[in-house]
Amino acid sequence: MSSQQMTVGWIGLGNMGAPLAARLVKVGYDVQVWNRTAAKAQPLVDEGASVGETVRDLAHREVVFSMVSASKDLEQVMLDPEVGLLTGESVPKIVVDCSTVSVETSKKIREAAAERGTRFFAAPVSGNGKVVAAGKLSVVCSGDEETFQLVQPMIESLGRSVTYVGDGEAARLVKIYHNLLLGIYTQALSEILVLGEKAGVKREAVMDFINNSVMGCIFSQYKTPAMVNLDFHPTFTPILLRKDFDLGLAEARKHEVPMPITNMTRDIVESSIGHGHEQDDFATLLLIAAANAGVELHSENADVTDGLDPQ
Ligand code: NAP
């Protein structure tokens, strides 16, 4: 059976899950979705997906993707004895999980899935909802190679790049490393922008130079409207970033690797939550850096782009 003919289930329609599931619908897969807050499924239905009333309604799908918040949430949707996908009468052939979760949780679910004859594949991602919509998502994945070959076309249709890093939980680690860099980079950017602010240099000018230099990157361009115009509409929340720092620092302790900058950044992310930004974008790290310097920032109302709008 070709990948395109396989039936698909999708669990979790948050900032990431909804646009990712929509991509599979758009390229022609038969997709059935489920979300804890049922109302979030309506836009997917409008695009052609069907809806399951329970997680287990998706058990008859050949491949089920999941995209939920944290390790405990993934364990709940997969392994809960009453409602879990992998604990009912029927189970899907393959589960592909895109959430950012711990190695331990991933391994536990892989083992439970194997006992039921389900192949479990890890495919965490880099990008935000708008990145997904623009077709620029990157996926890092791990699991057995045969399963990779079966799901590769589906995963490729989620974005622009797929990096297969081997068997087991390797992709979980690579994704966690990625998010440590994400937080540290954003914190460093925040600090220099506040330094410039105090010296009277516009954030737009600093970002423009960085974006056009070797220090700039696709990500600095993404975050330019946030940094310049204080657009903190959430793409990724500090709560989720703190979770990833905690996963990374647990790895650091396990391997006895000192990570002083990572530790410090984790606490700054925590202080952004303490300052009430838990529902905002994690780029509110800029506001914490400003507050620490006694500076009040205002939008520069500049004509800047995140680089994601269609040309
Ligand atoms: P989000 O917008 O907060 O959505 C979370 C999703 O998980 C929602 O569908 C939520 O259902 C569901 N969920 C949470 N706990 C659940 C539970 N116990 N049982 C069932 N469903 C549950 O988060 P997101 O930004 O989409 O992130 C999802 C995952 O992707 C996280 O692991 C995150 O770290 C990772 N990630 C995010 C980004 C990003 O830029 N946002 C990028 C890469 C990876 P409800 O709608 O009912 O709350």
How crowded is residue 193: how many other Cβ atoms within 10 Å of its Cβ? 22
pLDDT at residue 2, as a whole number: 59
Ordered alpha helix ranges (H), the chain = 17-26, 42-47, 71-79, 103-115, 129-133, 145-156, 170-199, 203-211, 218-222, 224-229, 238-255, 260-274, 285-292
Residue 157 has pLDDT above 70, yes or no: yes
Domain 3-168 has CATH 3.40.50.720: yes
Ordered alpha helix ranges (H), 80-200 = 103-115, 129-133, 145-156, 170-199
pLDDT digits (tens, 9 = 90+) for 64-92: 999 999 999 999 999 999 999 999 999 99
**Protein residue with its CA nearest to atom 8 in ligand 1:** 14
User: pLDDT > 90: what percent of the chain?
Assistant: 97
**Protein residue with its CA nearest to atom 15 in ligand 1:** 73
**CA atoms of 278 and 219, how far apart (whole Å):** 21
Place of tokens 């495919």: 123
pLDDT digits (tens, 9 = 90+) for 235-270: 999 999 999 999 999 999 999 999 999 999 999 999
179 lines ligand 1 (CB under 6 A): no
CA distances from 194 to 82, 203, 288 (A): 51, 8, 10
Residue 5 has pLDDT above 90, yes or no: no
1 pLDDT band, cuts 50/70/90, is low
pTM (2 decimals)?
A: 0.94
Q: Tell me how far the alpha carbon of residue 39 lies from the centroid of ligand 1, in angstroms.
A: 15
**CA atoms of 252 and 92, how far apart (whole Å):** 35
pLDDT at residue 309, as a whole number: 80
Q: Tell me how far the alpha carbon of residue 17 lies from the centroid of ligand 1, in angstroms.
A: 7
Domain 173-292 has CATH 3.40.50.720: no
Q: Tell me how far the alpha carbon of residue 72 lies from the centroid of ligand 1, in angstroms.
A: 12
Domain boundaries, the chain: 3-168, 173-292
Q: Tell me how far the alpha carbon of residue 16 lies from the centroid of ligand 1, in angstroms.
A: 7
Amino acid at 286: L
